[in-house]
Structure 1
Amino acid sequence: MFKKFRFLGLAAALVLVIALAACGGGGSEEGSDSDSGDSGSSDGGDSSGVELGESELTVPYVSWAGAIARTPLVKQVLEEVGYTVETKQVDAGSMWTSVANDDSSFMTASWLPATHQSYWDQYQNDVEEVSVFVDKAPLGMTVPSYMDVSSIEDLKGNKELGEATDWTITGIDPGAGVMQNTQTALEEYGLENWELQSSSEGAMLSELQTRIENEEPIIVPGWKPHWMFEDMDLKMLEDSKEVYGGEGDRISMVAHKSFKEDSPAAYEILKRMGEDYGTDIEQQLMVEINNGADAADVASQFLEDNPDLLKKWTEGIGE
């Protein structure tokens, strides 16, 4: 019996010693961590404050040239630091809805304030704009430069042009904001005879190229940056009523409001990418994809060719 109590006494003493050592050691380690943190912040390499958080991310995107180009780039940068990223192609309405409902992590193809105004009005309490890809992305009715029209007003009552195009504006997917703007333009400019035809971006571009090859008239909703303005001689019609937003929308990343807390490292990376990404990078990626390269391969090559950017976007972040 005595031996049992003596054993328990020794055990209690040992626990007390360990506890005291831990308290003493904690103070020492805290000082060491503080020194290390000061050193880390001086060279920008401290990774202790940025955690991955939720590491499985879902990113919806629309089948527009810019989104097809930039989404794989964002995916690969996030995977570089340990995230698993699933991308899925959807229409514009589903893209906004899934992010607002927190079914998806963030989107890379928000056009604000004009093109996606209706979506923003509906979901602004549930989402936030994280960073901007392109500051000014003009949109408008677009025609081949050989056509003898310069403004949207020139379409009103233009019987010759109307008959040559079947009074049709060749559009893209119906959920796109630029389609909503174009429908509004028909109403604002009194173009009662004209009809906006839905299709897809690919179908619209194919029709545009065919018409240009035959020097035939065609009107489409266009936007920049886009490779079509590099490969084809096009012009946007003047929009005096600014139905399409004047100088242009900003293309940005929009996430659910919980995203910063759920995946802090990803949030930080998206903000950093927004500081450097712009029209020049977007145009470069899109042109290469249009020339036949795979979008994921183009993104990989870009990161390989720009290691300083990759380092800047991911420095201090990791598993």
Structure 2
Amino acid sequence: MKKLSSALLALALIPASQSLIAQDKHLTIGTNNWAENIAVANMWKILLEEEYGYDIELSNVSKNALYTAMAQGDIDISMEIWLPITDQPFLEPYEDDLAVHDAWYHGTGLGLVVPSYVDIDTIPELTERADAFEYQGRPAILGIDSGSAIAGLTDDAIEHYELPLSQVNSSEAAMMAAFDSAYVNEEFIVVTLWSPHWAFAEYDLKYLEDPQGIYGEDETIYWFSRGDFASDDPWLTEVLNGWHMDDDSLGGLMAVIEELGDPVEGARQWIDNHRDMVDEWLAVEVEAH
């Protein structure tokens, strides 16, 4: 029997699932400015471009624009939709045109956070211990910009729990700088935070229990796409459906990006250091129909 040519041999060794990768490998991923969204979008851009030959465009748009553009086919996928509550209003007008796929992160969090060494566990306990959380001369909760959803919820929490603390609003960077300083010195401090967030990988933290449910229930993060994406690229659909991250992995990715100050280099370094996990995501076989 004649030997196969090197080209034919190479083709013979390609897994069957590879033939189900989209022939048109240009892909537009819709992003927004959330830290975890930028982190995972850049991670997938690197993996798909450098290892599978895709041409990935990251399109950073507002939420309203993202859903409209995806419904019109101008954006192919986006890595993050919070359900069943947070993003449902954005999804609802386009439910017939978009596809929500499998979850990749379970148990989002939102609320008031303290270092684990702080000896209270609930929001109501802040009332009796308010003086311990003094910031710049007054009992305070450190938050992010006043126009954010979490800032509004914190104003509600102060009112409903009748907390003798005021909310001090600033940028996320300024809030975390103040938190880091207090943490290093094991001082009491309370901040508004959410998970996933890189801080949970860097510090030992805890949410204060919210018995009135001001900050809502935990949600789940899914990826989603234009309605016909799965038929156009069944391989990538299965890969993303098998992708899962938790506080350690996602927080670690965001922490590296935060440390390096560059989402591309941070994501690349994280990939190199977590190759086994990444290879598990990519090792899928898709049956042709």
- The answer to whether the 8 Å contact 1:138/1:223 transfers is yes
Residue in structure 1 matched with residue 79 of structure 2 by the alignment: 108
Residue in structure 2 matched with residue 33 of structure 1 by the alignment: none
Residue in structure 2 matched with residue 160 of structure 1 by the alignment: 131
Residues 73-222 of structure 1 mapped to structure 2, 5 A cutoff: 73-79=43-49, 80-89=51-60, 95=66, 98-99=69-70, 102-120=73-91, 124=95, 126-147=97-118, 149-155=120-126, 160=131, 164=135, 166=138, 168-172=140-144, 178-179=150-151, 181-186=153-158, 188-190=160-162, 194-195=166-167, 197=169, 199=171, 201-222=172-193
1:59 to 29, 37, 41: 29
- The answer to whether the 8 Å contact 2:46/2:268 transfers is no
Letter in 1 for 2:43: L
Letter in 2 for 1:153: P
Higher helix share: 1
- Distance in 2, matches of 1:170 and 1:237, equals 14
Q: SS of the residue aligned with 1:295? A: helix
- Distance in 2, matches of 1:157 and 1:204, equals 23
Residue in structure 1 matched with residue 229 of structure 2 by the alignment: 259
Highest CA radius of gyration, 1 or 2?
1
Q: Which runs of 5+ in 1 are unaligned?
A: 1-39
- The answer to whether the 8 Å contact 2:271/2:278 transfers is no
Give the fraction of aligned pairs with identical amino acids, expressed as a percent.
Answer: 30
- Distance in 2, matches of 1:183 and 1:146, equals 25
Are 2:206 and 1:238 aligned?
no
Residue in structure 2 matched with residue 46 of structure 1 by the alignment: 16
Residue in structure 2 matched with residue 285 of structure 1 by the alignment: 253
Q: Deviations over 1:156-210 (max 9, x none)?
A: 58763676465653334667654554455445545596446252x3333223213
Q: SS of the residue aligned with 1:85? A: strand
Residues 10-25 of structure 1 mapped to structure 2, 5 A cutoff: none
Structure 1 residue 237: Cα displacement? 0.6
- Distance in 2, matches of 1:206 and 1:92, equals 28
Task: Output the TM-score relative to the length of structure 1.
Answer: 0.65
Letter in 1 for 2:249: I
Which aligned segments of 4 or more residues in structure 1 are displaced greater than 6 angstroms?
none
- The answer to whether the 8 Å contact 1:167/1:193 transfers is yes
Deviates more, 1:233-242 or 1:186-195: 186-195
How many residues in Structure 1 have an aligned counterpart in Structure 2? Answer: 271
- Distance in 1, matches of 2:191 and 2:145, equals 12
Q: Deviations over 1:113-164 (max 9, x none)?
A: 3444544456545533212121223332112344454322234587636764
- Distance in 1, matches of 2:113 and 2:168, equals 13
- Distance in 2, matches of 1:148 and 1:308, equals 41
- Distance in 2, matches of 1:237 and 1:259, equals 41
Pair 289,305 (structure 1): closer, same or farther in 2 beyond 3 Å: farther
Residue in structure 2 matched with residue 35 of structure 1 by the alignment: none
